Amino acid sequence: MKPLTKDTNILIVGLGVIGGSYARALSRQGYTVRCITKEQKDIDYALSLGMIKEGSTEVKAEFVQKADLIIFALYPHIFVEWIKEHQHLFAAGTLITDVTGVKSRIVYEVQSILRPDVEFIAAHPMAGRESSGVEYSDDRVFIGANYIITPTERNTPEAIEACKTLGEVLGFARITELSPEEHDRMIAFLSQLTHCIAVTLMTCNEAPMMEQYTGDSFRDLTRIAKINDAMWSELFLLNREALLEQMDAFANEFDRFRTLLKIGDSDGMRETMRRATARRILFDKPQKSN
């Protein structure tokens, strides 16, 4: 595995909102970026903005073989299928990485089926958009955001290093390593649970006219209820156990608070609110990376 340099040939598979944001950042910094994606119109769009050097709607052997680094920005099940079907095309020594939002169920499977002369180092760029499609891609979303690498014992220090460099090049503020399992527990709480809550808030009370009275707090809590149902249902199912655990922890604590209210335990409610207030301060955005 070669270190990441400006000579690195990069192939992005899947030019959606995240793949497109990667393409923008990498081309801007002088890397040679090719892409394979489903729709010719997305390639034309990316070419017109100089986001890629070349693109193809077919799995072009030449593109795959030229690549030193291949970034998969696909739905999880399509990523795994792609590897099974096309991995014979990889040049020996190719490094592959991904952007998938869940890890345990993907990383071990891909690593177990992958050719031994090719290395897969998994990563999760924690920056997203409510809208999908390359026309919504924007590499400014990486600024101030987290990039999480989830190596396993099959990964080499060189691949981990190259993946960190990729995170830096993309502009992420904080690059960290977690095990796939730690990543999935964290993401179940911080991201998947919050999406479940936002969706539930939108579907638990469908009384008319509510929108006429809404304020910013309700809007903030439900912004992410505009959701890509195909992608998120797949991500939820791939992280089912960890997400169910977080949903149960939330439901139990919500029920505890409900009981405090029901029995009129003002002190208990106030103690919980003070604890929430104190803990929330930890989560304020650092001023520097704002």
Minimum distance of a copy of itself from residue 27's CB (angstroms)? 25
Return d(Cα 107, Cα 97) in angstroms, integer: 10
Residues contacting 118, CB < 8 A, separation 6+ = 87, 90, 92, 93, 94, 95, 96
**Least spacing, CB of residue 163 vs a copy of itself, in Å:** 17
What is the nearest approach in angstroms of a copy of itself to the Cβ of residue 36? 27
Q: Identify which of residues 95 and 235 has a Cβ nearer to a copy of itself in the complex.
A: 235
Whole-angstrom distance, CA of residue 8 vs CA of residue 143: 23
Q: In the complex, what is the shortest distance from the CB of residue 139 to a copy of itself, in angstroms, rounded to a whole number?
A: 16
Which is closer to a copy of itself, CB of 42 or CB of 234?
234
Q: Which residue, 36 or 149, is less far from a copy of itself as judged by CB?
A: 149
Q: Tell me whether residue 46 or residue 247 sits nearer to a copy of itself (CB atom).
A: 247
DSSP string covering 169-207: HHTBSEEEE--HHHHHHHHIIIIIIHHHHHHHHHHS---
Shortest Å, Cβ 135 to a copy of itself: 18
Cβ atoms of residues 158 and 44 within 8 Å: no
Assess contact for 124 and 187: CB atoms under 8 A: yes
Burial 158-173, CB ≥16 within 10 A → b, else e: ebbebbbebbebbbbb
Closer residue to a copy of itself in complex, CB, 136/189: 189
Q: How many CB atoms neighbour CB 77 within 10 A?
A: 12
